[in-house]
Amino acid sequence: MTYLSPQDDRRAGDAAAPNFDLAALYAERESERFEMHATHLNEMWVRVLKAIGYDVGFVRGSGQYLFDRKGARYLDLLSGWGVFAIGRNHPSLRAALMSVLSADLPNLVQLDVSVPAALLAERLLAHAPWLDKVFFANSGAEAVEAAIKFARAATGRDGLVHCGHSFHGLTCGALSLNGDAIFKKGFGSLLPNTREIPFDDLAALDAALRGRDVAAFFVEPIQGKGVNIPQDDYLAEAAALCRKYGTLFVADEIQTGLGRTGKFFAVEHYGVEPDLVLVAKALSGGHVPVGAVLTRKWIFEKVFDRMDRAVVHGSTFGKNDLAMAAGLATLEVIAAERLVENSADRGERLLAAFRAMAERYELVVDVRGKGLMIGIEFGEPRSLKLKAAWNLLETVNSGLFCQLISIPLFEQHKVLTQVAGHGNHTIKLLPPLTIDDFDCDWIERSFDKVIADAHDAPGAVWSLGKTLAGHALKAKLG
């Protein structure tokens, strides 16, 4: 039998490979994107985008910016739900992925161990020195699912406690810990023995844990749905209650981790050392999905406790070389470009600017956040003219007012934002951690103008509100 050298093997493969050019195919079919999605994918989402005017067709991304098919530049304050912490298409990340593709590495042998996975685990644990082991998965939801299993195996208990307004993923186990009923409706029975308690309520947590049947308390250090921030002592006291009752404390840092809040992990703001820390989103660099569970050795060894149970839990693609390289490159960029520090600095500036707006504008009732995870909450105004317009929107659909802020920001100022949850009155900023003073000027100027316009009733903003109310009524009526 004749064996090819790696070089010969690669040349043979190149000669036989089809002439596939995704960039050319993208350019050829880009104008059909919404029709193709309506036909083959989620038509309801296409309808939503068209209804709110977000069907501009983005064709390029670079750093904190997006570009539509007409060449207009947008400032991205959504960052793919927090995925693009280091910005889109970072050259260091791309180089890392290309290096893997060109190295002929023995990826996913399965009956072997992965060097890139060991390196990434080592570097993640350096940021959580009280933890010892890492389990890799493909997403945040998979990390939550793994944590559920680990907690039950380690404690011998079934019970799980989570908070109202929480979000931990949409697979069935993670969905059982979701604090928003709209995500659960229609999907049948979920995990038994799950309990919801109010966020930032120690008495409720004490009552839930007192029966000593709870395996784990799952909590986001700062809740993504609403950007809800706990009292300064809540997480530390919650961790103490977990220790008292033999319950594991699980910090879901899938959105808050890797510098988002001005610390590498949000729990650092509160001096807490959870039993399990969950990460995903930003760790991917935006290109290759990856999730991870960081945990204590004794918990890990309760799961993988014998050789015949060495693969009792796993994920086929969880330690693939591209995902591990993406994670390694992301950590390198965060450190080299001091993005944790930038998040803290830019966040402090923006929070100060928004708090000044809250003093000037009655529709702004609260501003909260840490680092570059910021929520601007709107509420019922005092003046009669504005109150009447507000109540009209709220009667049709709670939370609709925020679209009167986000849509003009998008259409008039080229700023992409999001509402912080279903039926929510909070606009959330979750930009790449790479934003600079130019971008902060852009954000402050745009929000100030749109919020000022919203105080002019009747006006263009409230005309938009009537249109949106009409769309919402049609949707309700089917």
Query: Where in the sequence numbering do the catalytic residues fall?
Result: 167, 252, 281
Distance CA 226, CA 344 (A): 20
- Answer yes or no: are the C-beta atoms of 198 and 164 closer than 8 Å: yes
Residue 227's Cβ-side half-sphere holds a number of Cα atoms within 13 Å equal to 24
- Answer yes or no: are the C-beta atoms of 357 and 445 closer than 8 Å: no
Q: Residue 284: which of 237, 236, 329 has the closest Cα? A: 329
DSSP secondary structure code for residue 468 in this structure: H
Q: How far is CA 49 from the centre of its chain?
A: 20
DSSP secondary structure code for residue 363 in this structure: T
Distance CA 284, CA 87 (A): 11
Q: Residue 413: which of 436, 377, 445, 454 has the closest Cα? A: 445
Q: Which residues of 182-191 are buried (b: 16+ CB within 10 A; e: fewer)?
A: eeeeeeeeee
Sheet with 426-429, strands from edge to edge, namely: 364-370, 373-378, 426-429, 418-419
- Answer yes or no: are the C-beta atoms of 364 and 371 closer than 8 Å: no
Contacts of 476 (CB under 8 A, 6+ apart): 397
Burial label for 171, CB within 10 Å (0-12, 13-18, 19+), is middle
Contacts of 379 (CB under 8 A, 6+ apart): 363, 365, 366, 425
- Answer yes or no: are the C-beta atoms of 97 and 321 closer than 8 Å: no
Q: In the structure encoding, which two tokens stand for residue 249, read together?
A: 């404390």
DSSP string, 79-99: HHHHT-TT-BT-HHHHHHHHH
- Answer yes or no: are the C-beta atoms of 326 and 281 closer than 8 Å: no
